[in-house]
Structures are given as C-alpha cells and as structure tokens.
Copies of this chain bind each other. A is one copy, B any other.
Amino acid sequence: MPLKVRKNRGPKPPQECALTECMTIIGGAWTTNVIWSLRAGPRRFSELKIDIPPISPKVLTQRLRELEERGVISRQVKPTSPPSVEYSLTELGAELIPAIEAIVNVGYKLKHEGRMPNIQPQAAE
C-alpha cells in the first residue's frame, strides 16, 4: 500500500508564499546584518563596513543597491568633504526589524546555553 501524503496546510504556489517572498528580501548574504546595523539610525558605507567586518565592499554595494530598489533603505549623499553617503531604514525597512530581532534573540539564547551548533566546513568525502 503506497504511503499517503499527509496534509500540511499546503502547498501554495511559491509566488504567494509570504515566507519565501520575505526571505527573498532578507536572504542575501549579510542582508540581515546591514538592516540590523541601521536599526538605530543612519550609517555611512564605511561605518557599515566596520560594523560587519567580513563583508566585502562589492557585496555591501550589491546589498545596499538591492535594498534601496526594494524600498527597504534610502540613500542620501551629504555635501561633506569628501562627500559622504548615508543609508537609513525606510518605514518598510523598520517593519523588518522585529523579524531580525527574533533571529538575534534565538542566536543569543543558543549561544548563552552553549547549544549553538558549530559551523565548520563539511568534511569533503
């Protein structure tokens, strides 16, 4: 007797899946870090680079451009010398903070309990 596929409140077409769409916004490399860095106010390119040491300038530029295009952040050039560029969260961006906060919270909890899984490169067999 073939096994039955059990119900699981699904499936839904992928373009209607709120989780999938939201992950498309925040899922790129370092995206959550960038948004998190902006939570307390505007921040310059070089400040973001300092907040997130492992990010390369290329990827930081990519993330900032995408987030701007999607309305999550805004970019403002300031007439300082040399001219500087400030990035800040839009209203839409601010709405993402609770979700990222929830991730940060599990992270802290797992670390403090010593239950954060070690992430080491898969042993290539």
Chain A interface (Cβ < 8 Å from any Cβ of B): 3, 5-6, 8-11, 13-14, 17-27, 29, 32-33, 36-37, 40, 43-44, 46-47, 50-54, 66, 69-72, 80, 84, 92, 95-96, 98-111, 115-117, 119, 122
Contacts and interface: CB of A to CB of B under 8 A. Distances in A.
A36 B110 CA distance: 19
A8 B44 CA distance: 11
Given A3-B44, A40-B9, A70 B18 contact: no
A99 to B, nearest CB: 4
Contacts of A9: 40
A109 B22 CA distance: 10
B119 A25 contact: yes
Given A43-B6, A100-B19, A95 B72 contact: no
Contacts of A100: 19
Contact of A32 (B23, B80, B95, B105): B23
